[in-house]
Amino acid sequence: MDSAHFGPHDAAFAREALDTIAVDRRRLAVRFTAETWWAAPAQALAVAAVVAAPAAGVAGPMSVVAALATIALVGIEHRFRKRTGISTNRPAGPASLAVLIVLCTMIVAAFIISLVLATMGERSWIIASTSAGFIVMLVGVAIYDRAYARDLRRVR
């Protein structure tokens, strides 16, 4: 397409539209990071419950605890989406995607460690993996939120 077909009015309109989009992305980033104060601790508690689930007994009780904690995570995401209009389960760009992958890997690793400890009869050590899962999630959600906001602010 040849740019000579567009007049100065079309270029000004396009510039104005791009500026509007940039302002909207900055507003979304601010709204997204403003909700971290309650979402991060809530998600960290739910993840800690998932990581601690093997301590309830490997089989039925673990499944119930893990299922309830997973339902809590879904509920937190739903509440966050209602408050902000933003879904956090879709990364906004490469930085938030990388943080999400690392965070999920660390949570799965903490759960597997707890599961191994429970099968070895070392239930008291599950407290350590649960604490690690809580801290990783608490810090990880804050990092993810900032990466997500940075990706939103980035002009494509």
Q: pLDDT for 14-65, tens place per residue?
A: 778 777 877 777 777 676 666 667 888 999 999 999 999 998 887 788 889 9
Whole-structure pTM value: 0.73
Question: Would you give the DSSP letter of residue 56?
Answer: G
Of 111, 145, 119, 150, the residue nearest 25 (C-alpha): 150
Per-residue b/e over 117-150, b at no fewer than 16 CB within 10 Å?
bbeeeeeebbeebbebbbebbbebbbbbbbbbbe
pLDDT at 3 over 80: no
Question: Would you give the DSSP letter of residue 5?
Answer: G
What are the boundaries of each domain within the chain?
A: 3-153
pLDDT of residue 114: 92
Return d(Cα 32, Cα 149) in angstroms, integer: 7
Return d(Cα 134, Cα 122) in angstroms, integer: 19
pLDDT of residue 32: 64
Joined together, the tokens standing for residue 121 give 């009869």
Q: pLDDT for 112-125, tens place per residue?
A: 999 999 989 888 88
Q: pLDDT for 73-107, tens place per residue?
A: 899 888 888 877 777 667 878 998 999 999 999 98
